[in-house]
Amino acid sequence: MKLQYWLAGLATGATIAAAEPVFAAEKVTPPQTVYSFGTYRPMTPAAVQTKLQAALQAAGKYEATRFTKAWGTDTQSLRARFIAVLSAEYPAVAAALAEAQAADILPPSTIPPIITDPQLDSFLRSNLAAAYTEALARRRSYEESLTAAAVVKPEELADPASYFFYKAVAEYSLGAVKTEYRAAAMRSISRLLDDVLETPDRYRMVATLMFFDIQRWSKDPKDLANIGRLMDNSGRRLELAKGGPQTQDIQKRIVFRLDEKIKELEKKQKGGGGGGGGSDGQCPSGGPPGGGSTQSSGPAGDSTIMGGSGEGKVDEKKLRHYAEVWGKLPAAERAKAVQEITRDLPPKFKPMIEDYFKSLNRIHGVRP
């Protein structure tokens, strides 16, 4: 069964939406992307060259000698050749990407107009925005990365795999800040694993790890791992010189949740049970109550991700370990590892893990 079918209800499902409180100071809704049905296939260099040339000609920007020189040779990556041509005709493109990629300066806090320019040809704009999305995700400037990602039309991409992968990385990394990003990450991962043809093994493996890691996240906002993720995001924002209201709000949430956790532990010590703690359960800045019961009132729907043995809970640490030592394991141990990991999985999860191990076989040159 394809991931998108059983994940379809995730974005609006109460199971994840109720995972943590939403704060007024951080009311950010991730951009809604309308996906088309079908599959995405990477373009050939010849196809990209043809579309690029046609788009530049339509814009009155094409000059044959300059185009040929910038296009270079097939020893360069297709992305690099596309950007070289576009930069030769649009100086603002070269400046925007140089700023986004420069390791010795802070990444930009706003998206350059050229990235979202409605006058730019749709094919050029989508592929430029995808390159910008990746550049900012690599710099851990995830919020701006997703702003650029919203411009992209996936069906126009030369390399759809990298777009969905880096978009998922940004959403996954912001999942502790806003639960909507967790659902968005799952959607991006499902598109990458289900609908993109010829996805590189490195993307497929990391996306699989992110997928199963999200499942293991506790729904309790006072869970120490969730608080740790908030701390990581606070530290990341401070490193990027983003010490404004959003960062301050995250810091307030950290202090509040740690305080709630301490109160909860004190109650348990006194034999008072594991209540939510606090006299009114209110979050700072007038937010809604924290904690709350996560017990389901009925059976989980098909789109609900559950934990526990037999419910698709996979130890991503084991998967990472196997990724490192796979080529050194005897065939019998590899077979045992596959059996161990997939033994308690429901049928809908098994294809993902089987693909993961197939990727390991290809990477390590191992015959299955």
Banded pLDDT at 312 (limits 50, 70, 90): low
Tens of pLDDT, residues 42-63: 999 999 999 999 999 999 999 9
Tens of pLDDT, residues 4-33: 444 433 333 333 333 333 333 344 444 444
Q: What is the mean pLDDT of the chain?
A: 78
> Between these two residues, 170 and 287, which has the higher pLDDT value?
170
pLDDT at 81 over 90: yes
Q: What is the dihedral of CA 236, 239, 242, 247, to 10 degrees?
A: 40
Tens of pLDDT, residues 174-215: 988 888 999 999 999 999 999 999 889 889 988 998 988 888
pLDDT at 294: 36
pLDDT at 348: 61
Tokens of 361: 């076989």
CA–CA dist 65, 46 (Å, integer): 17
Query: H or E segment at 283?
Result: strand 282-283
Q: What is the mean pLDDT of residues 243-268?
A: 83
pLDDT at 220: 80
pLDDT at 1 over 60: no
pLDDT at 192: 93
pLDDT at 278 over 70: no
pLDDT at 11: 35
pLDDT at 76: 87
- 3-class SS at 114? helix
- 3-class SS at 288? strand
Q: Residue 187 in contact with residue 5, Cβ under 8 Å? A: no
pLDDT at 122: 95
Banded pLDDT at 132 (limits 50, 70, 90): very high
pLDDT at 335 over 90: no
How many Cβ atoms are within 10 Å of 358's Cβ, its own excluded?
15
Banded pLDDT at 345 (limits 50, 70, 90): low
Tokens of 1: 């069964």
Most confident of 34-38, 76-80, 274-278: 76-80
